[in-house]
Structure 1
């Protein structure tokens, strides 16, 4: 009987962890379609995943917390735009990320831009900037205060 209870608990714990996983898009077109459908802004996370210490710190202190996961599912469509040094990337993804880096004037990492896609002239999609931030000391509460201020001002 104890084994059944322990196994049930472990099974439910695994399901709970999986349910909290976030979907990070890497294709801006797919993310924009979801954003237009859900009416949630995009959160563009410009990162150097395999070399940027501040990016790793932001991931650990904020993006991997239950508070952020709950907030993100409710408020934004997540997009990771990675600029790795050692991890190989497909050419199309590198080009997309480079173009977005240029478009938003990103010169340091981590940089997070909040943007609201808007469909123009049939299929063309414009990315209207709402604001940007980076690493904010103080954990998820402080970071989410900044993020809320950027997206709430534009609603």
Structure 2
């Protein structure tokens, strides 16, 4: 019984710490307005772009980034997978294409665009393997000033 309670508490703790990526840009925008938070919009090719995969693993999935970003930003991944098994719904693909036309017309991957709740660009950056998660957070926070 004690082991079961411990396991449940552990899983709930991990779930509470989990990073929340919004499932649609509309939801991200609504949450940004409701919670008065900036949006971190990530353009990625999750199943074909090597730098995107490394950026996710080294930065976006790090404890430092997850802990801070989940509480201070609204997160949305405009993904462009190529493998059929990872394909997106047509609606989500169209949304991501619209975001790319507006914020990433040159098609850079990965690209991070930090937006305010009114969708104005506060800053843009790519992946620099020499930067730590803390350096990225400092960069994003610098865009807010």
- Under a length normalisation based on structure 1, what TM-score does the superposition of the two structures give? 0.82
In structure 1, the partner of 2:68 is: 71
Question: Which of 18, 30, 34 is the matching residue for 2:31?
Answer: 34
Q: Distance in 2 between matches of 1:10 and 1:139?
A: 32
Deviation at 1:9, TM superposition (A): 4.1
- The equivalences for 1:56-95 within 5 A come to 56-86=53-83, 87-95=86-94
Unaligned ranges ≥5, structure 1? 119-126
Distance 2:138 2:106 in 1: 22
Residue ranges of structure 2 left out of the alignment (5+ in a row): none
Does residue 132 of structure 1 match 2:124?
yes
The residue that corresponds to 1:124 in the other structure is none
Name which one, 1 or 2, has greater alpha-carbon Rg: 1
Q: Do the aligned residues in 2 keep the contact of 1:20 with 1:66 (CA within 8 Å)?
A: no
Q: Which moved more, 1:29-38 or 1:60-69?
A: 60-69
2: distance between equivalents of 1:89 and 1:67? Answer: 29
Aligned length: 141
Higher-RCO chain (CA-CA 8 Å, sequence separation at least 6): 2
Deviation (angstroms), 1:12: 2.9
1:41 Cα deviation after fit? 0.7
**Offset of residue 131 of structure 1:** 0.6
Displacement, 1:7? 4.7
3-state SS, counterpart of residue 26 of structure 1: coil
1:26/1:81 contact within 8 Å kept: no
In the superposition, the TM-score normalised over structure 2's length comes to: 0.87
